[in-house]
Structures are given as structure tokens and as C-alpha cells.
């Protein structure tokens, strides 16, 4: 793959990741405004005193229940970004072992 294609792919996936992360975070933050917010808790103890004590994982699960498609896009774009980063690091370190011909 050409360098320009890889950079374009990375920028595009990073933009999709940022936008879907924003939508997932906004949707998850609405859990505290719900009247029955304690019914949606999974990991946060039921003894939580207020909505400000809700764990982030519970907000994420709530966002997945409300908007599953956006949350799946968020997770998929994160996986693609992680894969691109890992492949870039592997390539960088595998090239370090080779002698460059000057």
C-alpha cells in the first residue's frame, strides 16, 4: 500500500472514531438525567448516592442499549486504529534490525 493511502486511511478512521466517541459519550451521559437511572446500573453499586457516581462502563452499556449502531462503529474504528498502530510499530521495529544501504 502506498504511504498516501495509509495516511488517508488513518485520518479517515481517526475522524470516524472521534465522531462516534463523541456521540457515544453524549448518549451515555444522559443516563444520569433519567429518573430511573439506578435500574440501568450493572457495575456501579446500588448504594451510589447520585448520578455523578455512575461508573463509565455503565454509561457505555447504557449508550449501547440506546444507540447500538453508533457504539459498534466506535468499537470497530477503535479496533482498526489499534491494528494500524500495531502494524506501524511492528514495521518500525522490524526495519530497525536491517542495515540501511547508504
- The reply to whether 101 falls in a domain is no
Predicted pLDDT at 97: 63
Task: Answer whether residue 100 shows pLDDT above 80.
Answer: no
What pTM did the predictor assign? Answer: 0.80
* 2 occurs within a structural domain: no
The verdict on residue 1 lying in a domain is no
If one counts the domains in the chain, the total is: 1
Distance CA 92, CA 86 (A): 10
> What is 15-67 written as a DSSP string?
HHHHHHHHHHHHHHHGGGGSTTGGGG-SSS-TT--SGGG--HHHHHHHHHHH-
* Structural domain includes residue 13: yes
Q: Is residue 3 situated within a structural domain? A: no
What's the domain range around 24? Answer: 8-95
Q: Which residue has the higher pLDDT, 65 or 46?
A: 65
Residue whose C-alpha cell reads 462502563 in the numeric block: 57
In a domain, 50, yes or no: yes
What is d(CA 64, CA 68) in angstroms, rounded to the nearest whole number? 4
Sign of CA pseudo-dihedral 81, 82, 87, 93: positive
Q: Is pLDDT larger for residue 41 or for residue 95?
A: 41
Amino acid at each position: 500500500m502506498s504511504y498516501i493511502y495509509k495516511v488517508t486511511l488513518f485520518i479517515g478512521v481517526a475522524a470516524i472514531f472521534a465522531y462516534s466517541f463523541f456521540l457515544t459519550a453524549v448518549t451515555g451521559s444522559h443516563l444520569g438525567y433519567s429518573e430511573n437511572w439506578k435500574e440501568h446500573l450493572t457495575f456501579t453499586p446500588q448504594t451510589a448516592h447520585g448520578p455523578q457516581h455512575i461508573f463509565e462502563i455503565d454509561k457505555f452499556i447504557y449508550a449501547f442499549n440506546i444507540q447500538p449502531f453508533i457504539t459498534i462503529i466506535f468499537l470497530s474504528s477503535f479496533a482498526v486504529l489499534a491494528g494500524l498502530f500495531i502494524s506501524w510499530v511492528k514495521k518500525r521495529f522490524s526495519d530497525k534490525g536491517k542495515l540501511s544501504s547508504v
